[in-house]
Amino acid sequence: MNAPAKIQETNAEQSLNAQFDAIFAQTTQNNANQRKQAWEAFKAKGIPHRRVEEWHYTDLRSKMNDAFALASKTTPKAEALTGAGDLKTYRIAIVNGRYVPELSSNQEVTGLSVAETSGVLEAQLGTDDAMASLNQALVQGGVSIKIDANAKIQLPIEIVRYTDGSDVSSYAGTSVEIGSGAKALIIESFEGAANAAYQSNALTEVKVGDNADVHWLKLQVESQKAQHIETLSIELGAETNFQHFIYNEGSALSRAQLFLEFKGEGTHAGLRGTSLLKDSQHADITLFVNHAVPECESREYYRAVVDDKARAVFQGKIIVEQGAQKTDGQMMIKTLLLSDTAEINAKPELEIFADDVQCAHGSTTGDIDEDLLFYLMARGIPEAQARKILVLAFLSEAIEEFEEEQCVDLLEAMTRKWLHADDLVSE
């Protein structure tokens, strides 16, 4: 009589059951096992909810009322895709989880190869997160991107992930391998038609060799009604510089989860980002940074501007393994709350098992500084404009640290647009 009640499957979970059965029936043999394993891993946990520690502040189970039907293969007009805007790039277009050659660049770039895949990833790095498992069970397609050792790719590599349609879901699986000594800038966007309600779940696995230099910009500009989940697993070799920046503007609900592991010594990783939230948006950035080897540096610096009833969630866990001496890890979260009903949940964590390390974390939350506002107004700048200047300044400080000039310009332009601050004088 006292048997524990089985947690009842939600409407969304029931939809997912049917979707998996349909996909599994038509999947090829060599992927079947991996899909099934991923599905079982997902089933064992179900959609994450607030009693799962890593998802405590983002109760997906209650926010995901349904799992939309898997989006079919479409080819939207090229103009529908925004990506990195006017920047000249090598474009890789992924629509509804699938690679679309017609919308992608086709010129030869020495040292770069791009191939369409099933989206089922071979490496299976880093995470057993339920939503990453779900991605692998249902994944619709993807690409494998390889950059040869010592290749210096001048053109930014642009990955546009577009979900076409409303009440649909897309699952993309992407693998990126960057050889030792290589240099690349990757700009990925996540987008869809304005105001379309859809779900996008992307899984990306990145392996970077030694002595590489990688800048990676993620533009999360999904429809304001979208639910966006992205899992990024990163492994870094020795003496490498890896800089990642998330620009979070879209989605009703978004979750970016990054799993980063240092595999070689002397490597520097910078994880940064800005979240610009309004209405009732909910944006979650969750990091797991594992210092598995000595003498690596990590910087986790995020800023959020939260207005109306929006909510930003930041969770960052830095793990320093025993033996990872001379680790230098610094984490800082700064938030501007622009309304009384805006909210931030910041949870920085350190787990340190080595004794000769430098680690710190901090978090600040506040309103616009009245003294700064007065200073600007005393110089004749009207209050509304002065407030925009201060918000832009707050975000620019984070943006400028990305140190890729074309990305900094792009990010500042996007930030100005979000602020309706095109009238502010630029430098």
**For other proteins, which is the closer residue by CB, 353 or 375?**
375
**For other proteins, which is the closer residue by CB, 304 or 395?**
395
Query: What are the distances in angstroms from CA 345 to CA 56, 137, 304, 315, 320?
Result: 10, 31, 11, 8, 23
What's the Rg (C-alpha) of the chain?
21
The CB-of-412 to other proteins minimum distance in angstroms stands at 10
- Given a contact cutoff of 8 angstroms between Cβ atoms, the answer to whether 306 and 312 are in contact is yes
The CB-of-358 to other proteins minimum distance in angstroms stands at 24
The C-alpha atoms of residue 157 and residue 26 are separated, in whole angstroms, by: 33
**For other proteins, which is the closer residue by CB, 193 or 421?**
421
Q: Where are the beta strands (DSSP E) in 309-413?
A: 311-320, 328-337, 343-352, 358-366
**For other proteins, which is the closer residue by CB, 6 or 379?**
379
Pull the structure tokens for residue 313: 């969630």
The CB-of-394 to other proteins minimum distance in angstroms stands at 6
The C-alpha atoms of residue 271 and residue 268 are separated, in whole angstroms, by: 10
Pairing of strands 241-248, 213-220: parallel
Nearest to 264 by CA among 236, 233, 234: 236
Instruction: Give the footprint of other proteins on this chain (CB under 8 A).
Output: 370-372, 374-383, 385-386, 389-390, 392-397, 400, 424-427
The C-alpha atoms of residue 229 and residue 203 are separated, in whole angstroms, by: 9
The CB-of-379 to other proteins minimum distance in angstroms stands at 4
The CB-of-393 to other proteins minimum distance in angstroms stands at 3
The CB-of-385 to other proteins minimum distance in angstroms stands at 7
The C-alpha atoms of residue 60 and residue 57 are separated, in whole angstroms, by: 9
**For other proteins, which is the closer residue by CB, 238 or 305?**
305
**DSSP class of residue 119?**
S
**For other proteins, which is the closer residue by CB, 123 or 424?**
424
The CB-of-368 to other proteins minimum distance in angstroms stands at 12
The C-alpha atoms of residue 141 and residue 136 are separated, in whole angstroms, by: 10
The C-alpha atoms of residue 383 and residue 380 are separated, in whole angstroms, by: 9
Residue 354's Cβ-side half-sphere holds a number of Cα atoms within 13 Å equal to 23
The CB-of-374 to other proteins minimum distance in angstroms stands at 5
The C-alpha atoms of residue 90 and residue 88 are separated, in whole angstroms, by: 7
The CB-of-335 to other proteins minimum distance in angstroms stands at 15
**For other proteins, which is the closer residue by CB, 122 or 400?**
400
Residue 137's Cβ-side half-sphere holds a number of Cα atoms within 13 Å equal to 23
Q: Which amino acid is at 219?
A: L
CA 150 from centroid of its chain's CA atoms: 27
**For other proteins, which is the closer residue by CB, 66 or 401?**
401
**For other proteins, which is the closer residue by CB, 224 or 330?**
330
